[in-house]
A and B are shown apart, each in its own frame.
Chain A
């Protein structure tokens, strides 16, 4: 069995994370005051590769170009506007305190660190909270049509893990509007010739020259050819690894191959076990399902989550004999309001997901599979009227109806004078990955000249991300952090000419890509990519999902090893290396998902505690809450590749140091 050799565990030098001196509130200001800059004439001589066009990638590419750098920007879709940031529904946090409800930079910082179960790097989170306000200003200036009040000022709503209303939104399409804002800035720079845009290109490798990232090998997905690109620095903004679970709320094309290529070249991968399972998704309905659909967290502003109090009612629901609206108020268990009175339905996502699992494990699930709970709007509709509720959530109700054939705003039953409406059925699903490529304060990975931003790095969300914070982090990294910090690196590259692509390093990297491709085509086994991917998803969800145990994780590692063997010997990829071959591209991604799955399992097995999105069933309180072990696990787990996917990675610890916040047990009860 694959185990981690604890003898070999190294501890990172605190200097490696490059956290600036000074009190927490002054670190970023101090950094900017003392960092090295690149003058305008030299910026024109430097080229940066940005892989990805989501919120982080598009905002970084456009901002670097605005500053004067030359940018090469890549995406796998047919247009930069398709990146999966576009699907974010609910909103973006900022510490504006426009609602006069006591918000501040410190409070957003504190909520984010607490929401992350005290496993994030304090200095990074403070900077995130600090620049959050600039993001809103920036987006409004771009013409992002945020929701407004009748007086013309910006509107806000609440999200999980906060007691203030700090979330800015554009209907249920905030990610779309923010991404189109970044895309518009990107288009302006493409038009000006500062950004060269490569659509339908997929990064396959990062090319290292003399110990620095100097380029990438990318596959043109239309011609099937590998192409070489060189630059002074490489930025990856390629998102998370949720699709390792097959079913997730990620888009079909989301993958972790670029991140895995960096990892295999020596970039540390941090905290892979921190995977976010979102509580409000439409439950799985059948074997042919390709993805899961999220219902925005904003629904928890007015929706109340419940299951029946009485197990007999639950059984009737499971058999389809009664509907949710047949059960009156007194027989409903609003378990989040019961367990967490202070935050109620707006507890953080990890807490809400586990609470749903707990009820369903006890047999209180409300659909035919027993794996669903209700999200109910009866109280809100009776209080506000259906028109107001539809104005707030109408597009989500319609989306729900299209998929399930049930309209959540429709009148169900009247019992003792109270009208009950059809509730939604929801269940947790893989949504976001807090873990990612390790970066220092400058967002530079452990490889010189290679930077990681957005979801694909690990730095800001600790063990759990709060709602409406992904958009904030992606844009913070891309608009306001990386364009500064990357200059500290580039300032001593101004005399270095951009390397050519006809060097032995590029030859070698491309040769490896071609060999890997030929190997996949040569297997000629019996199983399709999707059939193996589904099997991977089952293993991950069963053993590395919401509730993990030492025993289960050990089984998972064995099964994943066997699955890799199956992939290597029994995969069937049709077609050839010439031209477009989607199955071949999917096979590449699947290979990396298997390695990623193992990485998640290794990390989960190593972390003998429960925190945020990582819940080890052995480590819980009597009330079933996550039990952290700050004495032994107050660190970032960085995994170092050992030259082969077969070998277990080695662990390097980055100890966490908290100066501003007192580490304590999370409490959402009072």
Chain B
């Protein structure tokens, strides 16, 4: 462990309609402290100086809830690959470094306050079709439905998406294709998802378009920045699913 001092250049914005600006703060931390704990230290300083602390989303701090966001030095979830902001430790940065911290920037994710954005659009896309229409109580025995391990594992990889929005933040078009394709893929790969396969692809894509997300131009930034390493091949599958569904309209 080594002590270190960093300058945090943080986006401050009082509300959705207010004008925002960067403000720089100096914080003493150490290499074994996480990035969010460093923000905690900064907030403690601000509170002790009777200043308004920085609002940011976070919850589980284990990289699974998808609540934390932050665009750090130009990368969603910062410089580490395959990790969320809450799993980022200060040993990734240099002593004395100035670190730029911004909220997700996308038309579909308006800023609520400081670094906190509204990701309700993701919920709305899921509500449009991200499920198997099935009522509790009517299921057959689970082992009556053998599923090939290969498909089950692939479905699991797609289902690993934590819905954080890094893909949208990383995309120059603000596209939500990686997020949507992960859910569509999970069900397309499993027998349970077959009955509503076409309806699902149509409904989720339609909702995504309605909510102001951009189009996919295959730059691959989403895959590179995804904290759960969701593959861009999911997008290829979504395109196939969508075209097949539209052709059968």
Residues of A within 8 A of B (CB): 59, 62-63, 66, 77-84, 86-87, 96, 98, 134, 136-143, 145-154, 170-171, 173, 175-177, 180, 183-185, 187-188, 190-191, 197, 199, 222, 251-253, 285-286, 288-291, 293-294, 398-399, 402-403, 405, 479-480, 483, 528-531, 572, 574-575, 579-580, 582-583
Please determine whether A87 and B64 come into contact, CB atoms closer than 8 angstroms. yes
In Å, the complex CA distance between A531 and B155 comes to 44
**Contact residues in A for B22 (Cβ distance below 8 Å):** none
Please determine whether A180 and B47 come into contact, CB atoms closer than 8 angstroms. no
Tell me, rounded to whole Å, the shortest Cβ–Cβ distance linking A109 to chain B. 20
Residues of B within 8 A of A (CB): 1, 15, 29-30, 32-34, 36-38, 40-41, 44, 46-48, 50-53, 55, 57-67, 80, 82-83, 87, 89, 91, 112-113, 116, 118-120, 122-123, 126-128, 130-143, 145-149, 152-153, 155-156, 159-160, 162-163, 186-187, 190, 192-193
Of B50, B55, B142, B160, the contact of A173 (CB 8 Å cutoff): B160
Please determine whether B145 and A252 come into contact, CB atoms closer than 8 angstroms. no
9 cross-chain pairs, A with B, having the tightest CB-CB distances, nearest first? A152-B146, A184-B131, A137-B139, A141-B139, A145-B156, A140-B142, A145-B155, A251-B59, A143-B192
Please determine whether A582 and B62 come into contact, CB atoms closer than 8 angstroms. no
Of A84, A87, A582, the contact of B53 (CB 8 Å cutoff): A582
Tell me, rounded to whole Å, the shortest Cβ–Cβ distance linking A432 to chain B. 15
Tell me, rounded to whole Å, the shortest Cβ–Cβ distance linking A485 to chain B. 15
Please determine whether B146 and A187 come into contact, CB atoms closer than 8 angstroms. no
Tell me, rounded to whole Å, the shortest Cβ–Cβ distance linking B59 to chain A. 4
Beyond A66-B136, A199-B120, 16 extra complex contacts between A and B, CB < 8 Å: A66-B135, A78-B67, A83-B65, A86-B64, A87-B60, A87-B64, A137-B142, A148-B152, A152-B152, A175-B64, A185-B134, A188-B131, A290-B61, A402-B80, A403-B89, A572-B50
In Å, the complex CA distance between A153 and B143 comes to 6
Please determine whether B146 and A141 come into contact, CB atoms closer than 8 angstroms. no
6 A-B contacts (beta carbon < 8 Å)? A79-B122, A82-B67, A141-B132, A190-B127, A199-B120, A288-B29
Q: Beyond A141-B132, A150-B149, A184-B132, is A293–B192 a contact (Cβ under 8 Å)?
A: no
Q: Beyond A138-B139, A184-B126, A290-B37, is A84–B59 a contact (Cβ under 8 Å)?
A: yes
Q: Beyond A136-B142, A154-B142, is A86–B33 a contact (Cβ under 8 Å)?
A: no
- Inter-chain residue pair count (beta carbon < 8 A): 218
Please determine whether B60 and A86 come into contact, CB atoms closer than 8 angstroms. yes
Q: Beyond A78-B120, A252-B58, is A147–B152 a contact (Cβ under 8 Å)?
A: yes
Of A145, A149, A151, A253, the contact of B190 (CB 8 Å cutoff): A145
**Contact residues in B for A154 (Cβ distance below 8 Å):** 142-143
Of B62, B137, B186, the contact of A399 (CB 8 Å cutoff): B62
In Å, the complex CA distance between A177 and B87 comes to 20
Tell me, rounded to whole Å, the shortest Cβ–Cβ distance linking A240 to chain B. 14
**Contact residues in A for B52 (Cβ distance below 8 Å):** 574-575
In Å, the complex CA distance between A583 and B162 comes to 26
Closest residue on chain B to residue A64 by CB atoms: B136
Q: Beyond A143-B187, A253-B59, A288-B40, is A177–B159 a contact (Cβ under 8 Å)?
A: yes
Please determine whether B123 and A290 come into contact, CB atoms closer than 8 angstroms. no
